[in-house]
Amino acid sequence: MKLPILCYHKVGPQAEEGRRLNIEPTALTYHAAFFLRRGYQTLLARDLAEDWPERAVCFTFDDGYESTLTHGLDALRRAGAVGSIYVVTDAVGKDSSWDAGNERPLADWSRLLEAQTAGFEIGNHTKSHARLGDLDESRQAAEIEGAHEALARQGIESSSFCLPYGSRNDATPAAIRAAGYRVGLALSRRSATPSDDRLLLPRVVIAYSDRIPQLLYKLQIRPLLPKLRRRPDYVR
């Protein structure tokens, strides 16, 4: 069994958000509708702690951009899907300072609470968008637990964690677990499987140009390429 966990960031028209870390709302709707028409169930990331259905997909959105809360939620609703949105608690209502010259507005607490009420998950993306792989376990724990407490103070039930940049080291799973999380999301080039560590589940990053053919390439063909290259006498 393979479960695609898709990683998005901004969701908006190119005229507003450009192409970097963005997906057009219509493209996101097409992605969700593609899976739903084929009998896939859309799961929230927190659901991945339990047994998975045979055919499921998970839509995740990093950083909590205002455009995600505006265009992204509507795009998923049009297809009948839901998703998980990961926020940096020290930056809520401000902008994405880590984008280095490409800063964009981030949603405020009221928008995040509205999304939670509408059935979307709001998850933990650390306090400051830190690269956890550069930190020891105690500093990682401070980033994760501090964000968890900030979410709770706002009435947000945070049940899963997402690694900024996908950055981690050997201490990261323990830091995630210590904060009470059973699901953590990393980055990779393949779908998740039930044998994966639930605290480091792989996600596939989706780019602006990823229409359905490119999406299928990333999910079905690209993960096979390293194996094919290792085979002796391949295509001889």
**pLDDT for 115-155, tens place per residue?**
999 999 999 999 999 999 999 999 999 999 999 999 999 99
Which residues, at least 6 apart from 105, have a Cβ–Cβ distance to it below 8 Å? 65, 66, 67, 94, 95
Residue 191 lies in a domain: yes
The reported pLDDT for the residue numbered 226 is: 72
Q: Please work out, in degrees rounded to the nearest 5, the angle formed at the alpha carbon of residue 67 by the alpha carbons of 72 and 38.
A: 15
pTM above 0.75, yes or no: yes
**Is 187's pLDDT higher than 90?**
yes
Of residues 92, 95, 65, the one with CA closest to residue 150: 92
Residue 236 lies in a domain: no
The reported pLDDT for the residue numbered 70 is: 96
SS3 96: coil
Residue 235 lies in a domain: no
The CATH number of whichever domain residue 143 belongs to comes to 3.20.20.370
Percent over 90 (pLDDT), the chain: 94
- 83-126 tens-digit pLDDT: 999 999 999 999 999 999 999 999 999 999 999 999 999 999 99
Enclosing domain of residue 208: 5-230
Of residues 10, 59, 54, 1, the one with CA closest to residue 30: 59
Q: Round to whole Å and give the CA distance between 180 and 133.
A: 20
Residue 29 lies in a domain: yes
Q: How many CA atoms lie within 13 A of 68 on its CB side?
A: 29
The reported pLDDT for the residue numbered 227 is: 61
Residue 132 lies in a domain: yes
Residue 43 lies in a domain: yes
For residues 52 and 88, the answer to whether their CB atoms sit within 8 Å is no
For residues 203 and 7, the answer to whether their CB atoms sit within 8 Å is yes
Residue 188 lies in a domain: yes
Residue 116 lies in a domain: yes
Q: How many CB atoms lie within 10 A of CB 138?
A: 10
Of residues 121, 134, 120, 128, the one with CA closest to residue 98: 128
Of residues 192, 221, 193, 188, the one with CA closest to residue 205: 188
Q: 169 or 1, which is more confident?
A: 169
For residues 46 and 121, the answer to whether their CB atoms sit within 8 Å is yes
Number of domains in the chain: 1
Of residues 63, 207, 205, the one with CA closest to residue 123: 63
